[in-house]
A and B are shown apart, each in its own frame.
Chain A
Amino acid sequence: MKLHEYQSKFVFAGYGIPIPHGKIATTPQEAFEIAREIGQPVVIKAQVLVGGRGKAGGVKLARNPDEAEMYASAILGMNIKGLTVKKVLVDPAADIKTEIYLGVTTDRAARRSVMMASAAGGVDIEEVARSTPEKIVRIHIDPFLGLRDYQARDIACGIGLARQYWKEFIQIARALYRCYEENDASLAEINPLVITADDHLLALDGKMVLDDNGLFRHPQLAEMRDTDEEAPAEAQARQAGLSYVKLDGEIGCMVNGAGLAMTTMDMTKLFGGSPANFLDIGGGAKADKVATALRIILADPNVKSVLFNIFGGITRCDEVARGILEALQEVPTQVPMVVRLIGTNEEEGRAILADANMITAATLAEAAQKAVEAAKQYATERGEQS
């Protein structure tokens, strides 16, 4: 789960990291009021959960409250990479001498958390990592020791930070690691961390990504989830305990297990089709969960056939079959369905679906092929391009 900039900075502030004291506005009028309260030039920043908002025109410097209102009016409602801006952060503008990058994340290959810093702050760090990797300093962190002072000092030296800033930098680096660790984050990033004209460090921008598996320990963070930014189908799936990702193709896929679900998607492509979604119903899904999953798939207007691939282990094929029937009673559809049931209670499952007018398949390849053919036929019958 991603946090907005303003949410991330709010969490950072709780660890003593200095941030600009701005406020959130949802209307141009509010932006005007906040700018007047702040009484100095402000920055209007779109709050959306995608990168590249600056390039998209979602960040503007306003010299006075009137400009703040004007820019907020332009930015609110703006579409950035498919997401509508509903909030702007109005921050006092900072007088910047230098921009630094500072972040902590999980290094899968090293099986350690890693703190990264670069004197080339303010830009896309992935780009720095690609083009000039030597400009990034990395320190791996022992999970039992945490980030030590000497390590933070090593980082400060590594990026050539002047000595007068070390004390503040070490405090911020250690606070950032604690903030990451204690909140089960998979990323906590300050970009840029700036040195201001009056020689202090300030976290101008912030980003946090939380490990969904750790959210149960942080109900106050879980509540920060911005459901506006989630596609409605994905939110509905998450609430039902389903793992669903919408894609652009025409073949709806319902599978148990993530690896098998990806494989099923890949196979539709192999046979000339394209998947409409990733959907893992998980282990041991009951009929109602299957029914919810099918409703989500059928709500996608691009779907021209549905492919069920169930390898029963914990999951029972008869439960899945009952779920399919349940959903079809509620949402009658002409969309053709291809079913492959194998494993636990497969005979019972097939018997339940015997009268449901579904296409059956014995192997995964056969199922994918039939789903692609059925989608093409369905599109042709309706005079559409498949």
Chain B
Amino acid sequence: MSILVDRNTRLLVQGITGREGAFHTEQMVAYGTNVVAGTTPGKGGEWVGNVPVFDTVKSAVEATGANCSVIYVPAAATPDAIYEAADAGIPLIVAITEGVPIMDMLKVRAYLDQRGVRLVGPNCPGILTPGEAKVGIMPGHIGMPGNVGVVSRSGTLTYEVVYALTSRRIGQTTCVGIGGDPINGTSFIDVLEMFEDDPATEKIVMIGEIGGTDEEKAARFISEKMTKPVVAFIAGRTAPPGKRMGHAGAIVEGGTGTAEEKIKALESVGVKVASHPEQIPDLIAEL
């Protein structure tokens, strides 16, 4: 078992003929992901490897029964790609693209919420269910099947943690990168709830960072609703206020969003917070 994606996922790649889209399609197929179709407007009828390309998401879904989409188009075209996938009836959309304006994301979220469509990202590394499916850009070889669920706001930091777990032979059910933007599709709480309901997931690793209050909300959710143990790490203890640390969402503003507040909120509900990523496997093993 796992969450969000598995071997039954029928994946559509939006922007499949682009540089990133083509490269990562090859990687996802090599991993064993069931990539059933791709789209690039104006290139319908072509092929990328063994994957057929369509002009529109609607025609791709009709022809292949795709039930999950991953988006590799440029930021300016990403909102449109998300709306197109939602309108074609795709229930799970994963947007890798970085740099989507906040004003667009406010509309995207409002639109998807009305339709019950789940978006993961944007500005995220995607989802990896080790041994079954890889949707996005995570290096597949760093994971191994197991019973730990991983959820993170970061990209390469997620790889670091998953790699550290796998190096200690601690496997994962699913690794989810929710992205570092201030307005995104899926929150920590959404993923924690899925892990709580997933019978195969026994322990959870949550990787947060400075900015916003999602980690504090997650702490409340953990104390009120969760029975499974959670280990956390928060990046940005040394980040100064008012400076944006790369991610659009990673900024300490008006005295809120600091690492200290987040660590305190998590520890107060019994979550063990690692002082560095390589300590996470120890904390998981101790549970």
Contacts and interface: CB of A to CB of B under 8 A. Distances in A.
Given A109-B212, A342-B163, A364-B278, A243 B246 contact: yes
Interface string A243-272: 101010000000111111111011111100
A257 B277 CA distance: 15
Contacts of B156: 255-257, 259-260, 311, 313
Interface string A299-321: 00000000000011110000000
A213 B76 CA distance: 9
A261 B245 contact: yes
A108 B182 contact: yes
Interface residues of A, number: 54
Nearest to A258: B246
A283 to B, nearest CB: 7
A270 B279 CA distance: 13
B159 A270 contact: no
A343 interface: yes
Contacts of A247: 238, 240
A214 B102 contact: yes
A26 interface: no
Contacts of A311: 156, 159-160, 163
A149 interface: no
A118 interface: no
Nearest to B158: A259
A211 interface: yes
A266 B235 CA distance: 7
A112 interface: yes
Contacts of A126: 254-255
B153 interface: yes
Contact of B235 (A184, A245, A259): A259
A314 B210 CA distance: 24
Contact of B100 (A186, A213, A259, A344): A213
Interface string B135-172: 00111001000000000111111111001000000000
A365 interface: yes
B236 A257 contact: no
Interface string B92-118: 000000011111001101110000000
A106 B182 contact: yes
B183 A108 contact: yes
Interface string B189-200: 000000000000
B22 interface: no
Given A113-B106, A258-B154, A108 B139 contact: no
B75 interface: yes
B162 to A, nearest CB: 10
A280 B160 CA distance: 15
A383 interface: no
A313 B154 contact: no
Q: Is the interface of B mostly helix, strand, loop or mixed?
A: loop
A275 B163 CA distance: 24
Given A270-B275, A270-B276, A365-B276, A258 B103 contact: no
A142 interface: yes
Most chain-B Cβ atoms within 10 A of its Cβ — which of A263, A265, A311, A313? A263
Contacts of B220: none
Given A144-B107, A213-B100, A283-B155, A263 B246 contact: no
B250 interface: yes
A278 B237 CA distance: 12
Contact of A211 (B76, B101, B207): B101
Nearest to A364: B278
Contacts of A171: none
Contacts of A106: 102, 106, 182-183
A186 B238 contact: no
A257 B157 contact: yes
A111 B183 contact: yes
Contacts of B284: none
Given A106-B183, A181-B103, A270-B276, A143 B235 contact: no
17 contacts: A106-B102, A106-B106, A108-B213, A126-B254, A211-B103, A214-B102, A258-B246, A259-B152, A259-B158, A260-B235, A262-B210, A262-B239, A263-B277, A314-B137, A343-B139, A364-B277, A365-B276
Interface of B: 75-76, 99-103, 106-107, 109-111, 125, 137-139, 142, 152-160, 163, 180, 182-183, 207, 209-210, 212-213, 217, 233, 235-240, 243-250, 254-255, 259, 275-278
Closest 8 CB pairs of A and B: A259-B154, A258-B246, A257-B156, A259-B157, A214-B101, A262-B235, A260-B156, A280-B246
Interface of A: 106, 108-109, 111-113, 126, 129-130, 142-144, 181, 184, 186, 211-214, 216-217, 243, 245, 247, 255-263, 265-270, 274-275, 278, 280, 283, 311-314, 342-344, 363-365
